[in-house]
């Protein structure tokens, strides 16, 4: 050391001795060189192997180019900045190593004593970097898109080596008090260049731009990327430079737009290709295939697939995380040196102080950059994984088998998409925390061992003790999380069911019953949430108190062992404990997230491994190889293969090209299942199914997509005006389009809610016709349309446009059977009879029963008609019929819609469902205030803040006590005895921990209480909202609030808002400690804080809108999924899986775009705030170094530095938590929107309760009734004045838009009158509560509704009737034998939507409800549309008998259901056209009703004409 001219005192010698213990300098003086040689040999060896492999490959197949090289006709247009930077950085490193080699040659001493090793290392460095430069030139010549993996790995390893060497050099200079040498400066230059190369290696892309020989320019893309890039404009992230990637300045253009105006979806740039849902989905599919190939398993492990999907990006993120974690511990390691420097400034040079400052700040800069990059990378990877999982969940939903579909309801699958996938992607972020946890603990123990010797063993033992305490807590937490998800599934399933069937629930007055059901399900969920929160509070207490516990154990051990403690050592230990707190404190979160993610991943994996529909069930035969379009040979099918009895058995069917095949049979005989066999929907147990040609399918329950009518008809096909017009004409939609405000561009509500049943049916028939398929499968297409329209459809569509097509149609209308080439009569899952109409009648084994029932109904009409006339011209019928068809008078068709679109001329013409509302601008203070004061007016919030403030004060006091009481050097004795010191410290520490326990418990209580209060308010608000809300609001919007937003309130909201306050209190504590030492810190802190606030305001304007857009774009994904699941059979039949999957990918991207840019803007802000914090910290250090000795207490200064180390984290934490809270508060804002909806009238009015026997006679009086759906719309019903006599049957007829359905709604008050009144048995229904009104009336709707549960629960949800009464009702509605045949009887399960019952059976269940209820007034809304004629006849007799002395109001398509009425009401354009008895109306030949009967009877008498003219 004498050579360096430094005089060493005893203190310096002591430091050097410690240095020798810490760094293996003497034992291994050539450590750097040895590591370097190993690294160079590894690089050159691997490079040689790769080169040899490529050489062999080229010799074996000269025609193949390298994988990454592009076509030779690609001409390099220009090299990118990344490519040029890599060459510059490499040349700089090479030059530096040449300089160091020349210094060795000239005799300059190296640190390494072995000249052989020193020269070997230097020469190999020069060779390696020269080879690297050659490889880079080769990359430019070969037009590589990405740098080779070997080069990237070499750059990463070299960066770590440079970092290691520089750290050793700085440590040596500080410890030995030596001056900087040329070699040190050269090493520092190498580190800078290596850092640049490290950044380039992370990015991986060369950035070169190429052009085709024809001049077209494009960035070089791989084939896989090109496929998805055509429709994408380039994202700013994709074309960002290296500096922009580090600083996130590629987001600046977005901020420039966001600060000027609220962002819209179109303002948000596209995603990079690799972040798109299509790319992610494709990559994940490849990973699943890879796992399947590797394992040879039918169901590949989802965990392995996820691992393969994330491994590359996750490894890069992990590298950043490790570097950041290492840089974090540089500060605690150097604190002791800093205190020693301040204590002994006289014998130290300022240079060494500034060098210490540089080391502090340099480490903070590395930490800042690395942390921001790995956080961003984790979010980006999470985005890619979420897109991949959502797309696969969607794809799986389209191919689920019937049995699997029943075990996973749409509500459950929506939870998989929204909650479970989010939890799995959250794990991606926490994986890096898992990785750096052991590194952080190891570094902490190393620092403690250096400062405290054997005291570090106690610290290690205490650390592991605290961690071990969490194992049982985590296991319990995992169990709670699983229970929470089960409870949430149940609640969401019921919520989805309630929203889907809300109209039935309101009409049946079951509001309170289902409200109570949802509340009870929520109560179960709440109980598990509370247990989880309570356990979380205990975990929080343990781990917040852990640094205190570890420090007490460590210092206590040091005192017992006699280890000398100085202020510097104590502060270094405290700083380390503070750093150690982060991994320990994050451990419960990590384990909790791991538990949640495992539960969610298991659920998603279980779903993705469910059985799919048989892919090989159908054999497709080319048309030129067969004359049969459909051929089923001795086949057996079953919806549930586990059952002994198959659904369909012994099926033999051959259908020639162009044949018309009718399928008929009683309810539940297997008609729809036969079509499912042909579609491949039902599992084939044996036999063969052969199809030749394309298929089109019309399901029994209309499936209509949200969007306009034209899109529904085109269904992804190009628009051909001529073909489209012919399709619309043949499906009798022309007049409907004329009535709609925007014609065929009129928007349809969710599930076609604003269309009538007949309109929906005809739209989906038009969809099938427009497809121009070879085979048409029509499942009861005429049930929802009236007789006239049905005949027109049959003549113009089936026998017109489709006359040359093969058609199989299920029907209950006998008049459409004679025209068929083949009639199949189904019975008990078998084809009981097959043949032509006349042949089947002769067989006399069942078919004649169906025909006979139809003939009886026709006979009753003819009897009434003939008795009403004395004379009739034989030719008058034909003439009248012709006139009737050609006039614009009444065409009685299906009932009108809930919202009469013929009059819906709103501001946005043709639109019912408007875009989802979103707040704009900043969240008002009232939103925060509303959240904070929801529970107990905010009293708990004050106590929580007081507890946190007390914790912070006591924590600072305990640290201040330790810094003040111990001397800066070992030469001075402590102020107090060691036992007193420890006792005071323990008291302060325990006090702070108790404050944390109080805070954690109160935060859990307040947060969950608030969430529950808001849930209850939203639930009541939604359930009491008028039907208009549900007509115009997709259920996805409500479900996303009840699912995702409610989860935020349950689990995250209180934590986010609480941490805003906690981090501010922590920051104030840190500033207070730092200002104790040097008040000048305030001079810089105030302007820096102002800049931080400005940045925050600049940031939040953009981020807030991005968060809102992200929330809004989530609902369409769920809505589209729910629609797709409902129509999966139709999508598969039309071979439209790819189109719908593409639509899902587009919706995922629409959500991912604002989400990605939202998390990116957070990193943009955090990076800038970290830089500002580092500047304040640097200023503080320079100030402390520069101040003369004696002005400040070195111990307290050391304490200030201890707190200053975390200043950047705290300052960033404050802003991050403020922004995070604002983003999370958007969920609260969205729930608040639906907590204050406009409400229906009161359910009960205590002062105006009707008598218990009301209505007694059922007399209904309409007085000057006027109704319109909105103030800006014209009236739908105009001056309706008439009286329905009590205990009579009233038939209501009229064409679409005439107001029939509105009249029914008015009786049930789902729409309120604008003027006039409805009086039932002398009581004005507007004066009584809705529950009193609706519970006394009965309705059988056209769309039958069943709920998941049991047979009994569906018939008697309110549990008002005995089993005997329920059985009686089942017998009367023809279901007794079927239910009795089930093993569980009344407890037989009903799945979601009643899908394990046929449509006809579901309608019979609705009849059963009405029979049980026995109301004085019954409304039938085409209640028997889905049953055969025989069953219809029986039902009509039952209704006549059971409701003999009751008022029955019937809207019907089958004329015989109206002909027996006591009175008939004919509506036209919202007015009464006719109202009288059928007999009197028929006496007037010019009456609308008379014309209708004539036309129907004539058509029915000649129904066989189709077969004769065909």
Q: Calculate the average pLDDT of the chain.
A: 77
C-beta separation of 895 from 1457 below 8 A: no
Q: How confident is residue 768, by pLDDT bands cut at 50, 70 and 90?
A: very high
* Beta carbons within 10 angstroms of residue 1169's beta carbon: 24
Q: Any idea what DSSP says for residue 1248?
A: G
**Percentage of the chain lying above the pLDDT 90 cut:** 5
Question: In angstroms, rounded to a whole number, what is the distance separating the alpha carbons of residues 638 and 631?
Answer: 18
Tokens at residue 976, please?
């107090």
Q: Is the peptide bond before 166 cis (omega within 30 degrees of 0)?
A: no
**Coil vs helix vs strand at 1199:** helix
Classify residue 848 by burial, with Cβ atoms within 10 Å: 0-12, 13-18, 19+: middle
- The pair phi, psi for residue 1142, each rounded to 5°, is -60, -40
Tokens at residue 625, please?
């190889």
For the chain, give the number of residues: 1510
Question: In angstroms, rounded to a whole number, what is the distance separating the alpha carbons of residues 623 and 130?
Answer: 67
Lowest mean pLDDT among 408-412, 483-487, 690-694, 1339-1343: 408-412
**Is the sign of the CA dihedral 156, 159, 161, 163 positive or negative?**
negative
Question: In angstroms, rounded to a whole number, what is the distance separating the alpha carbons of residues 1403 and 1421?
Answer: 11
- Does the pLDDT value for residue 792 go beyond 70? yes
**Percentage of the chain lying above the pLDDT 70 cut:** 80
Q: Which pLDDT value is given to residue 207?
A: 63
- Does the pLDDT value for residue 1187 go beyond 80? no
Average pLDDT score over residue span 1326-1337:
88
Q: How confident is residue 968, by pLDDT bands cut at 50, 70 and 90?
A: low
- Does the pLDDT value for residue 884 go beyond 50? no
- CA 822 to chain CA centroid, Å, is 48
- The pair phi, psi for residue 824, each rounded to 5°, is -110, 125
Measured CA to CA in angstroms, residue 700 lies from 404, 769, 781, 1197 at distances of 21, 16, 7, 81
- How confident is the model over 1134-1161, as pLDDT tens digits? 888 889 999 999 999 999 999 999 989 9
Question: In angstroms, rounded to a whole number, what is the distance separating the alpha carbons of residues 383 and 378?
Answer: 9
- Does the pLDDT value for residue 536 go beyond 80? yes
Higher pLDDT, 150 or 303: 303
Question: In angstroms, rounded to a whole number, what is the distance separating the alpha carbons of residues 1424 and 1404?
Answer: 8
Q: Any idea what DSSP says for residue 814?
A: G
- Does the pLDDT value for residue 4 go beyond 70? no
Pairing of strands 1337-1340, 660-665: unpaired
Q: Any idea what DSSP says for residue 910?
A: T
Kindly give, in sequence order, each residue whose CB lies less than 8 Å from that of residue 1350, ignoring residues fewer than 6 positions away: 1384, 1386, 1387, 1388, 1389, 1390
Question: In angstroms, rounded to a whole number, what is the distance separating the alpha carbons of residues 532 and 348?
Answer: 56
Place of tokens 């247009």: 77
Q: Which pLDDT value is given to residue 339?
A: 74
Reported as type and span, the H/E element at residue 1229 is helix 1207-1233
Calculated CA dihedral for residues 522, 528, 534, 540, nearest 10 degrees: -110
Question: In angstroms, rounded to a whole number, what is the distance separating the alpha carbons of residues 539 and 534?
Answer: 9
- How confident is the model over 235-279, as pLDDT tens digits? 888 888 778 888 888 888 898 888 888 888 888 888 888 888 999
* Beta carbons within 10 angstroms of residue 1281's beta carbon: 12
* Beta carbons within 10 angstroms of residue 226's beta carbon: 12
Higher pLDDT, 62 or 1390: 1390
C-beta separation of 383 from 1155 below 8 A: yes
Kindly give, in sequence order, each residue whose CB lies less than 8 Å from that of residue 707, ignoring residues fewer than 6 positions away: 747, 748
Average pLDDT score over residue span 764-770:
91
Tokens at residue 697, please?
């399918």
Higher pLDDT, 808 or 1342: 808
| pTM for this prediction | 0.67
- How confident is the model over 807-843, as pLDDT tens digits? 999 887 777 888 888 988 888 888 888 888 888 877 7
Higher pLDDT, 236 or 642: 236
Place of tokens 């006394």: 1336
Kindly give, in sequence order, each residue whose CB lies less than 8 Å from that of residue 435, ignoring residues fewer than 6 positions away: 318, 321, 322
C-beta separation of 1168 from 1095 below 8 A: yes
Q: How confident is residue 776, by pLDDT bands cut at 50, 70 and 90?
A: very high
421-452 vs 546-561: helix crossing angle, rounded to 10: 20
Q: Which pLDDT value is given to residue 1476?
A: 87
C-beta separation of 554 from 998 below 8 A: no
Beta strands in 768-861 (DSSP E): 775-779, 806-810, 822-827, 830-835
Question: In angstroms, rounded to a whole number, what is the distance separating the alpha carbons of residues 461 and 716?
Answer: 66
Question: In angstroms, rounded to a whole number, what is the distance separating the alpha carbons of residues 1113 and 380?
Answer: 18
Tokens at residue 510, please?
């079951």
Higher pLDDT, 365 or 1070: 365
330-343 vs 149-176: helix crossing angle, rounded to 10: 20
Question: In angstroms, rounded to a whole number, what is the distance separating the alpha carbons of residues 814 and 1333?
Answer: 39
The separation between the first and the last C-alpha atoms of the chain, rounded to the nearest angstrom, is 115
Q: Which pLDDT value is given to residue 28?
A: 44
Average pLDDT score over residue span 223-230:
37
């Amino acid at each position: 050391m004498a050579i360096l001219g430094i005089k060493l005192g005893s203190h310096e010698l002591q430091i050097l001795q410690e240095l020798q213990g810490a760094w293996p300098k003497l034992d291994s003086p050539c450590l750097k060189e040895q590591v370097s040689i190993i690294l160079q040999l590894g690089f050159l060896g691997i490079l040689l192997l790769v080169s040899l492999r490529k050489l062999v490959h080229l010799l074996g197949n000269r025609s193949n180019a390298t994988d990454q090289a592009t076509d030779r006709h690609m001409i390099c247009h220009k090299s990118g900045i990344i490519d040029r930077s890599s060459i510059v950085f490499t040349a700089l490193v090479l030059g530096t190593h040449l300089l160091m080699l020349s210094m060795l040659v000239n005799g300059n001493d190296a640190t390494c004593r072995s000249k052989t090793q020193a020269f070997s290392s230097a020469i190999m460095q020069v060779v390696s970097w020269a080879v690297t430069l050659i490889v880079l030139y080769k990359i430019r010549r070969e037009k590589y898109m990405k740098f080779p993996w070997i080069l990237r790995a070499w750059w990463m390893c070299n960066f770590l080596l440079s970092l290691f060497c520089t750290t050793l050099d700085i440590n040596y200079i500080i410890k030995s008090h030596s001056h900087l040498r040329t070699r040190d400066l050269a090493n520092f230059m190498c580190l800078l260049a290596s850092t640049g190369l490290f950044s380039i290696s992370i990015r991986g892309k060369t950035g070169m731009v190429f052009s085709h020989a024809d001049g077209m320019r494009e960035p070089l893309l791989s084939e896989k990327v090109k496929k998805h890039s055509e429709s994408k404009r380039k994202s700013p992230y994709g074309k960002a430079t290296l500096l922009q990637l580090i600083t996130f300045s590629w987001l600046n253009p977005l901020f420039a737009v966001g600060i000027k105006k609220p962002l819209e979806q179109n303002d948000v740039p596209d995603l990079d290709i690799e972040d798109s849902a299509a790319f992610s989905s494709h990559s994940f599919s490849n990973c699943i295939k890879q796992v399947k190939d590797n394992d040879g398993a039918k169901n590949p492990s989802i965990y392995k697939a996820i691992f393969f999907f994330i491994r590359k990006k996750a490894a890069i993120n992990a590298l950043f995380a490790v570097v950041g974690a290492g840089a974090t511990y540089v500060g605690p390691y150097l604190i002791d040196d800093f205190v020693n420097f301040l204590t002994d400034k006289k014998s130290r040079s300022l240079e060494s102080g500034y060098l210490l400052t540089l080391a502090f700040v340099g480490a903070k800069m590395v930490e800042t950059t690395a942390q921001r990059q790995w956080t961003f990378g984790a979010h980006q990877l999470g985005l890619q994984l979420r897109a991949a999982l959502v797309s696969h969940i969607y794809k799986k939903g389209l191919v689920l088998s019937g049995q699997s579909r029943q075990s996973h309801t749409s509500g459950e699958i929506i939870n998989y998409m929204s909650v479970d996938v989010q939890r799995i992607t959250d794990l991606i972020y926490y994986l890096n925390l898992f990785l750096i946890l052991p590194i952080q603990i190891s570094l902490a123990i190393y620092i403690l061992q250096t400062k405290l010797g054997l005291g570090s063993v106690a610290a290690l033992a205490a650390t592991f003790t605290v961690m071990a305490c969490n194992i049982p807590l985590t296991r319990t937490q995992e169990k709670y999380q699983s229970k929470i998800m089960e409870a949430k599934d149940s609640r969401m399933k019921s919520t989805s069911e309630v929203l889907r069937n809300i109209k039935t629930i309101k009409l049946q007055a079951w509001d309170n019953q289902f409200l109570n059901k949802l509340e009870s399900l929520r109560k179960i969920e709440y109980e598990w949430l509370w247990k989880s929160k309570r356990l979380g509070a205990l975990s929080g207490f343990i781990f917040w108190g852990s640094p205190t516990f570890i420090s007490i154990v460590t210092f206590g051990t040091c005192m017992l062992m006699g280890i000398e403690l100085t202020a510097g050592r104590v502060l270094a230990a405290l700083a380390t404990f503070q750093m150690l707190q982060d991994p320990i404190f994050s451990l419960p979160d990590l384990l909790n997230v791991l538990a949640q993610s495992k539960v969610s991943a298991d659920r998603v994996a279980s779903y993705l491994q469910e059985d799919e529909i048989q892919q090989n069930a159908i054999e497709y035969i080319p048309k030129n190889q067969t004359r049969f379009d459909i051929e089923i040979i001795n086949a057996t099918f079953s919806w549930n293969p586990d059952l002994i009895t198959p659904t369909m058995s012994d099926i033999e069917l051959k259908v020639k090209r162009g044949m018309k095949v009718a399928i008929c049979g009683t309810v539940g005989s297997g008609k729809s299942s036969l079509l499912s066999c042909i579609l491949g929907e039902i599992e084939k147990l044996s036999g063969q199914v052969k199809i030749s040609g394309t298929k089109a399918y019309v399901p029994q329950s209309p499936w209509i997509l949200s969007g306009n009518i034209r899109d529904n008809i085109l269904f992804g096909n190009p628009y051909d005006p001529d073909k489209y017009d012919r399709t619309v004409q043949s499906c009798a939609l022309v007049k409907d389009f004329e009535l709609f405000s925007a014609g065929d561009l009129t928007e349809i509500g969710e599930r076609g809610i604003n269309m009538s049943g007949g309109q929906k049916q005809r739209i989906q028939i038009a969809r099938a016709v427009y497809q121009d398929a070879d085979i048409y499968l029509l499942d009861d297409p005429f049930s929802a349309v009236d007789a006239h329209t049905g005949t027109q459809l049959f003549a113009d569509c089936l026998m017109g446009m489709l006359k040359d097509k093969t058609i199989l149609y299920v029907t209950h209308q006998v008049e459409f059977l004679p025209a068929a080439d083949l009639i199949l009569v189904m019975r008990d899952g078998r084809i009981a009879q097959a043949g032509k109409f006349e042949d089947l009648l002769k067989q006399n084994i069942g078919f004649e029963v169906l025909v006979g029932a139809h003939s009886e109904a026709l006979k009753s009409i003819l009897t009434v008609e003939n008795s009403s006339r004395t004379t009739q011209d034989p030719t008058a019928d034909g003439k009248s019929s012709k006139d009737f068809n050609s006039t614009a008078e009444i065409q009685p068709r299906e009932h009108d819609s809930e919202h009469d679109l013929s009059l819906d001329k709103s501001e946005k013409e043709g639109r019912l469902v408007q875009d989802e509302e979103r707040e704009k601008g900043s969240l008002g203070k009232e939103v925060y205030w509303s959240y904070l004061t929801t529970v107990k007016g905010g009293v708990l919030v004050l106590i929580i803040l007081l507890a946190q403030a007390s914790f912070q004060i006591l924590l600072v006091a305990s640290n201040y006590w330790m810094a003040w009481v111990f001397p800066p050097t070992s030469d001075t004795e402590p102020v107090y005895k060691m036992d007193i010191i420890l006792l005071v410290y323990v008291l302060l520490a325990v006090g702070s921990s108790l404050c944390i326990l109080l805070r954690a418990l109160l935060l859990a209580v307040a947060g969950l209480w608030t969430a529950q209060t808001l849930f209850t308010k939203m639930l009541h608000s939604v359930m009491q909202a008028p039907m208009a809300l549900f007509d115009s609001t997709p259920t996805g919007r409500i479900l996303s609030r009840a699912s995702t937003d409610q989860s935020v309130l349950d689990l995250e909201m209180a934590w986010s808002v609480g941490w805003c306050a906690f981090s501010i209190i922590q920051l104030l504590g840190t500033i207070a400690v730092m200002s104790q030492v040097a008040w000048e810190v305030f001079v810089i802190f105030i302007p820096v804080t102002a800049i931080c606030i400005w940045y925050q305001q600049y940031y939040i304007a953009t981020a807030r809108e991005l968060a809102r857009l992200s929330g809004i774009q989530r609902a369409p994904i769920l809505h589209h999924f729910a629609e797709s699941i409902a129509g999966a059979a139709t999508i598969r039949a039309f071979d439209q899986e790819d189109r719908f999957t593409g639509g899902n990918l587009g919706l995922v991207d629409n959500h991912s775009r604002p989400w990605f840019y939202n998390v990116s803007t957070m990193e943009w802000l955090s990076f800038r705030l970290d830089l500002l914090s580092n500047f304040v910290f640097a200023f503080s250090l320079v100030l402390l170094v520069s101040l003369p000795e004696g002005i400040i207490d070195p111990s307290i200064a050391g304490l200030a530095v201890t707190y200053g180390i975390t200043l950047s984290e705290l300052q960033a934490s404050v802003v991050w938590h403020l922004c995070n809270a604002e983003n999370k508060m958007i969920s609260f804002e969205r729930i608040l929107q639906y907590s204050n909806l406009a409400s229906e009238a009161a359910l009960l009015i205590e002062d105006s309760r009707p008598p218990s026997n009301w209505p007694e006679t059922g007399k209904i009086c309409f007085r000057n009734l006027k109704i319109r759906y909105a103030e800006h719309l014209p009236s739908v019903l105009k001056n309706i004045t008439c009286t329905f006599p009590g205990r009579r049957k009233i038939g209501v007829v009229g064409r679409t838009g005439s107001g029939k359905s509105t009249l029914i709604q008015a009786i049930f008050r789902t729409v309120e009158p604008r003027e006039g009144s409805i009086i039932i048995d002398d009581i004005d229904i507007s004066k009584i509560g809705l529950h009193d009104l609706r519970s006394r009336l009965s309705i059988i709707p056209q769309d039958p509704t069943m709920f998941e549960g049991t047979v009994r629960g569906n018939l008697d949800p309110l549990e008002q009737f005995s089993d005997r009464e329920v059985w009686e009702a089942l017998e009367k509605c023809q279901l007794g034998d079927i239910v009795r045949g089930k093993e569980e009887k009344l407890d037989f399960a009903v799945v979601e939507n009643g899908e394990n019952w046929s449509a006809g059976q579901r309608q019979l269940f609705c009849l059963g409800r009405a029979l049980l209820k026995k109301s004085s007034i019954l409304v039938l809304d085409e209640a028997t549309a889905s049953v055969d004629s025989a069953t219809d006849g029986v039902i009509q007799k039952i209704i006549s008998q059971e409701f003999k002395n009751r008022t029955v109001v019937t809207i019907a398509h089958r004329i015989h259901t109206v002909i027996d009425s006591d009175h008939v009401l004919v509506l036209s354009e919202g007015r009464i056209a006719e109202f009288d008895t059928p007999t009197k109306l028929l006496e007037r030949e010019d009456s609308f009703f008379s014309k209708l009967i004539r036309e129907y009877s004539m058509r029915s008498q000649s129904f066989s004409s189709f077969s004769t003219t065909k």
